[in-house]
Structure 1
Amino acid sequence: MVRGGIAALGSCAAVGAARAETILGAPVSGQMGFLPANTVVQADIEWFHNDILLPVTIGISLLVLVLLAYVVYRFNEQANPVASRTAHNGPLEIAWTVVPALVLVVIAVPSFRLLSQQLIIPAPDMTLKVTASQWHWNYGYPKSDGGFSFDSLIKEDKDLKPGDIRLLSVDNAAYVPVGKIVEVDVVSQDVIHSFSVPSFGIKIDAVPGRLNKTWFKADH
């Protein structure tokens, strides 16, 4: 169902057609990392990951590795046959409490900004209703944009045409305007589904009996 959401929206904002030689936001063989960002929110997600989380993760991992290597070298049975009976080290205990707290503050400040950017929906230019079912999506457009809805199903292998992507291309793609704020209202008719468009930086659950909302503003 995640892939269904990607196919139905990702291709339309990229090139305006479900079948295209190159689709922005579609996976590429051998690709690593994020898909190309197509919204400001996704660009900020990539910045937060690459410039904040990744350096912190690598730094902590290297520090722990060095400490483990030092402990194995310095305090093994041969190098240190008489074990120390030290029970407390005040400065060390303060350091390993304060330093992680400071690291969390460094992570928290930009993450709160990013969360508010994702969750606070600006005044939309258009609202798209997305209804999840087993196993397809239904897209509903407001009266101001025609007032219609349609089902979007993943194409079976036998129906794929040149340029289509297996498990991503759909029979009816949803089209959205570029450079406009689009609110997405997500619901489900049966079980919990997940609606995701990675290039837009949106991922939200479709829950029966509950209306969840997200938004995007596509650059391309």
Structure 2
Amino acid sequence: MAHPSQLGFQDAASPVMEELIHFHDHALMIVFLISTLVIYSIATTVSTKLSNQSIIDSQEIEVVWTVLPALILILIALPSLRVLYLMDEISNPHLTIKTVGHQWYWSYEYTDYEELEFDAYMIPTQDLTPGQFRLLETDHRMVVPVESPIRILVSAEDVLHSWAVPSLGVKMDAVPGRLNQTAFITSRPGVFYGQCSEICGANHSFMPIVVEAIPLEHFENWSLLMLQDA
């Protein structure tokens, strides 16, 4: 049985995810109010035998139940379009990372550095250390600086994949022969987990994504160590 905390969204770690959660709550409240009104109308209609001619045939009521849904759709559409444009906005990224999906692992290339690239494989269950998550840990994490715009170029080498990290509000299809792009900003340090969300074959469930956000000075030290090891 799922834990109650698993039934909702993960804690937001980026401004875009915060906006997505706010829009979800906004739309859910509208749906709740509509459902309450419909249930109340059904209950009152079923529970009483009384009727009124002005309710059965009323031009004013017909106008209201035509105009009101249109206004409700506008209340949902405008915030939705705002969030959609925020998700597509990519301006002046501080770092660009190319991620390529393979069967069944991810490879990362830091295009602003020479020869800074690596593959990320899932750590087998028998090799996990205390505190690590089964089916979610990788031998190499994608490390990014905190509070910096990061552009992600997503592609695939063989079949369709999808690079998705729910807490960052990021999900982008990896298509062979096509280069898609998305962006995010981590608002706090931490380790954020995701998985391929496209059914890509037998080991689809075994190609996790781990994004580690650290302060900028620590990121610079990490990049130097990675370049030395390369």
Q: TM-score range by the shorter chain?
A: 0.7 to 0.9
The match for 1:59 is: 33
- Counterpart check, 1:36 vs 2:19: no
Tell me how far 1:35 sits from its aligned partner: 1.3
> What is the letter of the counterpart of residue 45 of structure 1?
L
The equivalent residue for 2:138 is: 170
User: Following TM superposition, by how much is the alpha carbon of 1:61 offset from its aligned partner in structure 2, in angstroms?
Assistant: 1.3
Mapping of residues 121-200 of structure 1, within 5 Å = 121-142=90-111, 144-200=112-168
CA 1:88/1:133 → structure 2, altered by over 3 Å: closer, same or farther?
farther
State the Cα deviation string for residues 80-131 of structure 1 (Å, max 9, x = none). Answer: 8xxx9x9965333322221111011111111111111100211111111011
AA paired with 1:204? Answer: M
Residue 172 of structure 1 and its aligned partner are, at CA, apart by: 1.2
Letter in 1 for 2:176: P
Q: Give 1:214's aligned residue.
A: 182
**Number of corresponding residues:** 184
Aligned to 1:190, the other structure's residue is in SS state coil
Q: TM-score, normalised by structure 1?
A: 0.76
1:71 to 16, 40, 45: 45
1:56 counterpart SS class: helix
1:118 aligns with 2:74: no
- Structure 2-normalised TM-score? 0.73
Say what the alpha-carbon RMSD is for the aligned residues. Answer: 2.3
Kindly state the Cα deviation for residue 216 of structure 1 after the two structures are TM-superposed. 0.7
Mark the runs of 5 or more structure 2 residues left unpaired by the alignment. 189-230
In 2, the alpha carbon distance for the partners of 1:153 and 1:90 equals 65
**1:70 Cα deviation from its structure 2 partner:** 2.2
- Of 88, 93, 109 in structure 1, the residue corresponding to residue 78 of structure 2 is 109
Provide the rounded CA distance (Å) in 2 between the counterparts of 1:133 and 1:72: 58
Higher strand share: 2
Higher relative contact order (Cα pairs below 8 Å, separated by 6+ residues): 1
Structure 1 consecutive aligned stretches of length 4 or more whose deviation exceeds 4 Å: 86-89
Q: Which residue of 1 aligns with 2:24?
A: 49
Percent of pairs with identical residues: 38
